[in-house]
Structure 1
Amino acid sequence: MKERDGKPYAPGMTTPVYPPKPSPGDRIAVLSPSAGLPALYPRPYELGLARLREDFGLEPVEYPTTRTMDATPQARADDIHAAFADPDVTAVIASIGGDDQITVLPFLDRELIRAHPKPFFGMSDNTNLLAFLYSSGVVGYHGTSVMVEFGRPGAMHPQTAESLRAALFTTGAYELRPAERWGDVNGDWADPATFAAEPETPKQGGWTWRGPDRVVEGRSWGGNLEILSWLLMADREISPDPSAYDGGVLILETSEELPSATEVFLILRSMGERGLLRRFPALLMARARTWSFAHPNSPEAAARYATEQREAVERALAAYAPDTLAVFDVDFGHTDPQLVIPYGGTVRVDGPARRITVTY
């Protein structure tokens, strides 16, 4: 048990509060807390910066490691501190994800960030920083990166842009809507031809509801399932008291690494054995990513992968959280379009009405 202000402290004990929102014309920090991929793929990054300026009226501010590959964890933490402490910066957004942000967490100054709370937008490996903000008492935003959503070829997806604009600039309730069509196949960022047209969204959308037909309203927690498993193994930003998550809404998504259904079940089983799953009366399970350059699944293989993942989640819920209301294929995480979910903020899951409302 750590101490804070002379009192016992464990992650999860602090109720997150919403930081002030930016306004058009403000400066927004663009960081690479994980991989400095803007250095390798400048085209989607520069496109994303241009849309931040031209479509959202925000002025991006870069830091020393934003375009630096293999920056040290200390250097990346220094950039995070500088962005949060700068009084002229009103929000922070990740350039993209990665796979080693967990190494940055020990270098972060919790009190500095608590003293200068700002909206942070990111997903995937940025689950690390979102969980850190949650346990520090700051609501974050699971969704959006400069290179992927802002840097989408052709144009931003309208549904992504609408959700992001609401999350960035407004407060209050926002109802999420299922995408009519979606896609998860990307072009090669190194090929200029990729940016000549929007990516296809050929698959039919919609959500699937499972479990008791009830209304759940609570604070969200979770993020990328693989990253959560690493945080659990390292015992980072996870409350030692599972009751800290009582009544919350669990949000989970999987990455372009395409973890197998067996791996998904085993991670959820471990969370169940820790006593976590049953603490959440509602689960939002993001639409599974089913294609990557390393795993270029056919449409049939992609559909089979998604079905097997859903069955793995349902199996874990049946064993450890049978009373949890679950909604599958929600449009957040590694999918297009992508909706923004407040992390640590209020989420309302209305089973009878089949509606999901978030508070931005």
Structure 2
Amino acid sequence: MTSPLYPPKPRPGDRVAVLSPAAGLPEIFPRPFDLGLRRLTEEFGLLPVEYPTTRRMGCTPQERAADLHAAFADPTVRAVVASIGGDDQITVLPHLDADLIRANPKPFFGYSDNTNLLAYLRELGIVGFHGGSVMVQLGRPGALHPVTADSLRAALFTPGPYELTEPVEFNDIERDWQDPAGLDTPPGMQPAPGWTWHRPDRVVEGPSWGGNLEILGWLMMADRAVAAPETYRGGVLFLETSEELPSADEVFRTLRNMGERGLLAQFPALLMGRAKAWSFGAPNGPEQREAYRTAQREAVLRVLAVYAPDTMAVFDVDLGHTDPQVVIPYGGTVRVDGPARRITVTY
């Protein structure tokens, strides 16, 4: 694989596109969206630009693709940031103009359903950024978490290596966006167990691939934005699960199928995101949440034992649906130093 292309970074004062390529949820929940836009301007110094589908639910895949094309083609727009995720961005991919996007590379920020577009950009040789949505991270109640803010700022503006640190606190309980007071105070946090290392006997450095596990399963079923297994040889796999709380059995089966495809064995290192274990549909208590995370970790280890027994793994990295969230360069360089217990990404 050729060296990945890091698109030029924006500078304070630049225009950035804010799009909804997954779902137009800003139409339904304008308050966290507007809060995120205000912070993008006031705390990061960027000028958000909205498009026809940004605040509109039910837009067709063709309409969302057209907004992506407009944003990438506009020379005055220096980055693209997703409002939030969704569940059908996979239907947008066939309508994208690969030549247009390849000719106008820009940093794209998003996660969850935006794994679709991140994987697509990686296949074009363009580094994207897994994390940093407007409504969730920028629209966090009370204030941005300092860990999130520092990582996002570095990913936006500063090229070069950035060392991830183990957070001392985390949260996975959401606020009700319909509650007028829901955005006024920061969420309650709980002590964060440190990273858990498995086979930390080597140093692995390579381009990353992965994202949301459920979305990767859909991409593989549709045979989109997933290259031949050997394409990923020597890279770093990173995975996380969503607020839909897939069971340990589902996680096991998806990873097993990736193993059968020959994917897992290509990655000598895996970063596994801290599992979100609470949702409005499953408001689990502390013991239930801990049991859920433990079961997921054990499921991942069972799969690795069969399909990638020599792979080094790090669990409970805050790279997904929990708070705080660190940004991972998608297709960019990640270094996992087992003996030193250090993780460094290149923004």
Per the normalisation by structure 2, the TM-score is 0.99
Instruction: Choose which of 79, 83, 101 in structure 2 pairs with 1:95.
Output: 83
Counterpart position of 2:125? 137
Show structure 1 runs of 4+ deviating over 6 A. Answer: none
SS in structure 2 at match of 1:149:
helix
1:73 and 2:65 matched: no
Contact 2:200 2:341 in 1 (8 A): no
1:278 and 2:240 matched: no
Counterpart position of 1:305? 292
CA distance in 2, matches of 1:144, 1:309: 24
CA distance in 1, matches of 2:2, 2:337: 26
Contact 1:341 1:358 in 2 (8 A): yes
Instruction: Choose which of 255, 273, 282 in structure 2 pairs with 1:295.
Output: 282
Quote how far apart the aligned CAs of 1:227 are: 0.1
SS in structure 2 at match of 1:192:
coil
SS in structure 2 at match of 1:195:
coil
CA distance in 2, matches of 1:28, 1:258: 32
Counterpart position of 1:186? 174
Quote how far apart the aligned CAs of 1:15 are: 4.1
SS in structure 1 at match of 2:310:
coil
Instruction: Choose which of 301, 313, 335 in structure 2 pairs with 1:348.
Output: 335
Quote how far apart the aligned CAs of 1:204 are: 2.3
Contact 1:277 1:321 in 2 (8 A): yes
Quote how far apart the aligned CAs of 1:14 are: 5.3
SS in structure 1 at match of 2:244:
coil
Contact 1:221 1:251 in 2 (8 A): yes
Counterpart position of 2:21? 33
Counterpart position of 1:4? none
Tell me the alpha carbon deviations over residues 6-42 of structure 1, each in whole angstroms, 9 at most, x when there is no partner. xxxxxxx554210000000000000000110000000
Contact 2:13 2:46 in 1 (8 A): yes
Tell me the alpha carbon deviations over residues 53-75 of structure 1, each in whole angstroms, 9 at most, x when there is no partner. 00000000000000000100000
Counterpart position of 1:318? 305
Per the normalisation by structure 1, the TM-score is 0.96
Contact 1:211 1:322 in 2 (8 A): no
Where structure 2 has 5 or more consecutive residues not aligned to the other structure, the ranges are none
CA distance in 2, matches of 1:301, 1:59: 42
Contact 1:16 1:135 in 2 (8 A): no
- Aligned-residue Cα RMSD (Å) equals 0.7
Counterpart position of 1:154? 142
Instruction: Choose which of 74, 91, 103 in structure 2 pairs with 1:86.
Output: 74
- Matching residue's letter, 1:74: Q
**What does residue range 131-280 of structure 1 map to in structure 2 within 5 Å?**
131-239=119-227, 241-280=228-267
- Matching residue's letter, 1:306: R
Contact 1:97 1:124 in 2 (8 A): yes
Quote how far apart the aligned CAs of 1:186 are: 1.0
Contact 1:212 1:324 in 2 (8 A): no
- Matching residue's letter, 2:292: Y
CA distance in 2, matches of 1:95, 1:77: 15
SS in structure 2 at match of 1:270:
helix
- Matching residue's letter, 1:176: L
CA distance in 1, matches of 2:175, 2:147: 20
SS in structure 2 at match of 1:316:
helix
CA distance in 1, matches of 2:193, 2:168: 5
CA distance in 2, matches of 1:182, 1:205: 9
- Matching residue's letter, 2:11: S
Contact 1:174 1:357 in 2 (8 A): yes
Quote how far apart the aligned CAs of 1:173 are: 0.5
